[in-house]
Structure 1
Amino acid sequence: MMKKLNVLYTRMENFFFKEDNQAEFLSFFRVAIGLVILLQFTAVLPDFDKLFSSSSIIPQDIMDVFTPDWLITFSKIVSFLQTFGIEERTTIMVTQGLFIALCIFIITGFYSRVSALLLLILQIALLKGSSFFAYGADFFTSMSLFYLMLFPSDQHFSLRNCVFNRKTGTADITPVKRLFQIHISIAYFFSGLDKALGFNWWNGEAIWKAIHLPYSNRDLNIDFSWLAEHPYLLNFIGWSTIIIEMCYPLFIWYKPTQKTWLFLTVSMHIGIALVLNLYYFSAIMIVWNITNFYFELPAKKTAAGSKKKRSVRIPQQIRL
C-alpha cells in the first residue's frame, strides 16, 4: 500500500514540478494575448465615450448602483481627478494612451509582468465600471493578464533582454503551466455540462437561435434557412459542441488524441468567430488552447529523439 502511495506521490510531483524546459509557449502567449487585447481595444476606441464616459449610453449613475463602493472604477477615477482640476477628456486620453502603451510593452516583452499588472488594474476599472457592456471574453482577458503576471514571459524573445543585455534566466514554470492547463480543462467541462443539462442543445434549438441573433452572421451573410428542412444537422452541431467541451479534460490530456481534440476545439472557435461574429472571444480561446497544449507535442518527440541518439553504439570495426 505504501509503495503504491509513494508511486502516486512521485507521479504527482513530477506532473506539477518536473521542469520540461519548454519556453516557446510563454513567448507565444505573451505576444498573442497582447495583440488580441490591443486589437480589441482599438476596435472599441471610436465608441469609448459611449461605453465608459459620463456621456455613455447607460448613465454612470445607473451602473454605479450595481458596483460595490470599494471597487475602483473608471468613473470614480475620473471623479477623483476632477477634484484636482483635471478634466474628463484629459483622463480619457491618458487612459487610452496608457492602455495602448501597456499592450505594446507586453507584446515586445518590456517588463511584461509589471505591464500586465497595471493593464489588469486598468482593464478591471473599465470593465466593472461598465458591467452592462461586458461579456465572457472580458473576464478571460482579466484571467489572461493574471497568468502573464505569474509567468516570466519576458525571459525569452523580449525587448527587455535586448535593451539591458540580460541573459536568459531559468525558472521552474511547470506549476503555473499545469494550473493553466487544469483551469482551461475545468472551464470547458463545466461549459459542456451546463449545455448538457438543458434540452436546447440536444434538439438544436440553441444553434438555430444563435445563428439568427441580430449581431450574428453579419460578415459572411450566409442563408441558413435551409437548415429548417434538415434539423438533424442542428442536432449534430449541438451534440458535437457538448461532446467536445465535456470530453475536453479526457482527450486533451491523452497523448494519442491530443492533436485531434486540439484541432476540433480550435475549429469550433473558428466557426463561432465566422458565424456568430465573436472574434475577440474566439481569438482568446484559440490562444489559450494553443498555449496550453500545442507546444507540448514536439517536446516529447525531441526528448525521444535525443534518447535514440544517445543510445546509438559505434560498431567495433570503426572504433580506433
Structure 2
Amino acid sequence: MKLLNLESENKFAIYLSIFRVFIAFHLLKKIFLQWDYLPILYSNKSFIAHSDTTNFFSFVFENDWLRDNYTIFLGLYVFIVIIYAFGIGKNVVALALYLLYKINTDLNGYAANGGDNLLEFIMLYMIFADSFKYLTINKVSKVKNPSLEKIKNVFSNLAGYSIIIHLCIAYFVSGINKAHADVWFNGVATYYTFSLESYQGTSFNKSLALNGYFVTISTYATILIELYFPVLVWFRKLRNIMLVLMGGIHVGIYIFMAIYDFEILFLSTYGFFFSNDEWKSFLRRILSKVKPALDKLRIPYPQALILE
C-alpha cells in the first residue's frame, strides 16, 4: 500500500462501507445474545457491581439515571446502530454511536472482551472516515466541491491506515509480552492454555496439550508471527502469507478455545489490507458465480458497486 496521495482517492472506500455494516450487525448481535440477561447486566437492582460513572476525555457522567432507564437507553442505542448500518446521518451518527457504545461498555463491563477494546478505537477512527460510498439507502451525490472531497479522502485514508496500524501495534505488543512471559519463553504456554477447563472448545484439546511437538511449535510460532506480522504484512508478496498465518491463529483460538467475538473482530479488520481494485475484482468473481441464480430469481444485486 502506498502512503502517498492521501487526497487523490478514498483508498478504503469499498471496505469502509462493508465494515460499517459489519460493525452494526456485530453490535446488534451482542445485544440479541444478551437479551435475556439485560436486567442483570444493566439494572441498578442487579446483584452485579457496576461502574458508577462514564468518562469522556476527562468529563465524568453519573450512570444512575441510565441504569434506572436502561430500556430507553438500549432502545436509542439499537436505533442508532440500525440507521448507522443504512448510512443515515453519516459521520454525525457515527459520532453518536461511538458515544453510546462507550456508555454501553461502561454500563455493561462484565460482558466486554478484549475485542471490545479494539472496537472502541476502531469506532473512534470510523467517525472521521467516509464509509458511505456504498451500501447506503441514500443516493450518493456527485462531487460538488473538489476541495471538500480531498479533505474527506485524507481523513478516510488516515482512518483506514489507523485501523491497520493499531492492529499491527496490538500484535507486536502482544508478541513482546509473550516473549517476556516464562511459559511462552520456555515454549509451554499452549500446554497450559489447552489444559484449562474453561477453554475446552473441542474434545481434542487435552490430547493436543499432551503432544510436545504441537505445544512447542504452536507456542513459538505464535510469538514469531505476532512479532513479524506488523513488518512483513506491508510487503505485497508476503501480505497474504502473513494474513493466513495470523488468521490461522485466530481461527484456532475460535475453534479450540471457544472465544468468538474477539477473533471475528480481529479477522474482520484484515479487509483493510486490500485495495479498492482488489475488492472490485473479488466482488466481480463472486457476482459471476451467483449472477445466473439472481437473474433467474429476479433478485437485484449491487452491480454498481463492482463496476463503478
| TM-score relative to the length of structure 1 | 0.74
The answer to which of 91-100 and 34-43 deviates more is 91-100
Q: Secondary structure at the match of 2:134?
A: coil
Give yes or no for the alignment of 1:111 onto 2:89. Answer: yes
Q: 1:300 to 1:27 in 2, by over 3 A?
A: closer
Q: How many Å apart are 1:256 and its aligned residue?
A: 0.6
2:24 counterpart of 1:34: yes
Structure 2: gaps of 5 or more residues:
283-308
**C-alpha contact 2:11 2:275 (8 A) present in aligned 1:** no
Cα deviation per residue 1:54-107 (whole Å; 9 max; x = unaligned)? 1334234xx43998995335x33337xxxxxxxx3xx22222222222222222
User: Residue 64 of structure 2 corresponds to which residue in structure 1?
Assistant: 76
Contact 2:54 2:106 survives alignment (8 Å): no
- Do the aligned residues in 2 keep the contact of 1:202 with 1:235 (CA within 8 Å)? no
Task: Report the count of equivalent residues.
Answer: 273
2:274 is matched with which residue? 294
* 2:183 counterpart SS class: coil
| Aligned position for 1:241 | 222
- Percent identical: 23
Residues 168 and 230 of structure 2 are in contact (CA less than 8 Å); yes or no, is this contact kept in structure 1? yes
Of the candidates 159, 165, 174, which is equivalent to residue 157 of structure 2?
174
> Quick check: 2:13–2:130 contact (8 Å CA) kept in 1?
no
The alpha carbon displacement at 1:209 in A equals 2.8
Choose 202-211 or 120-129, whichever is displaced more.
202-211
Could you tell me whether the CA contact under 8 Å between 2:54 and 2:60 is conserved in 1? no
Task: Give the match for residue 274 of structure 1.
Answer: 255
CA distance in 2, matches of 1:277, 1:13: 37
- Counterpart Cα distance in 2 of 1:265 and 1:216: 20
CA contact (8 A) 1:31 1:108 kept: yes
Residues 120-161 of structure 1 deviation map (CA, whole Å, 9 limit, x = unaligned): 222222222444553312212211211221111113231132
Identify the range of structure 1 (260-269 vs 15-24) with the bigger mean alpha-carbon deviation.
15-24
Q: Secondary structure at the match of 1:110?
A: coil
Q: Which moved more, 1:122-131 or 1:253-262?
A: 122-131
The corresponding residue for 1:64 is 52
Counterpart CA distance in 2 for 1:94 and 1:50 is 16
Contact 1:109 1:154 in 2 (8 A): yes
Query: Structure 1 residues 177 and 138 mapped into 2: Cα distance closer, same or farther (>3 Å)?
Result: closer
Matched with 1:184 is 167
Q: Conserved in 2, the CA contact under 8 Å of 1:18 and 1:174?
A: no
Give the 3 Å change call, closer, same or farther, for CA 184–114 of structure 1 in structure 2: same
Change (3 A) 1:192 1:228: closer
Tell me the secondary structure at the aligned position of residue 72 of structure 1: strand
C-alpha deviations, 1:209-228, integer Å up to 9, x for none? 3334343235xx32322234
Query: TM-score scaled by structure 2?
Result: 0.77
Letter in 1 for 2:87: G
Q: Distance in 2 between matches of 1:225 and 1:178?
A: 40
Letter in 1 for 2:130: P
Give ranges in structure 1 of 5+ residues lacking alignment.
1-10, 80-87, 303-320
Counterpart Cα distance in 2 of 1:255 and 1:223: 36
Question: Does structure 1 residue 206 correspond to structure 2 residue 197?
Answer: no
- In structure 2, the partner of 1:43 is 33
Q: Distance in 1 between matches of 2:167 and 2:46?
A: 34
Q: Using a 3 Å threshold, how does the CA distance of structure 1 residues 58 and 238 change in structure 2: closer, same or farther?
A: same
Q: 2: distance between equivalents of 1:266 and 1:33?
A: 19
Mean Cα deviation higher: 173-182 or 273-282: 173-182
- Is 1:260 the equivalent of 2:263? no
CA RMSD between the two structures: 3.1
1:120 and 2:98 correspond: yes
Letter in 1 for 2:75: G
For residue 159 of structure 1, give the secondary structure of its aligned residue in structure 2.
coil
Deviation at 1:263, TM superposition (A): 1.5
2:116 is the counterpart of 1:134: no
Following superposition, the deviation at residue 189 of structure 1 comes to 0.9
Residue deviations 1:174-221 (CA, integer Å, cap 9, x gap): 233222222221121111111111121244443233334343235xx3
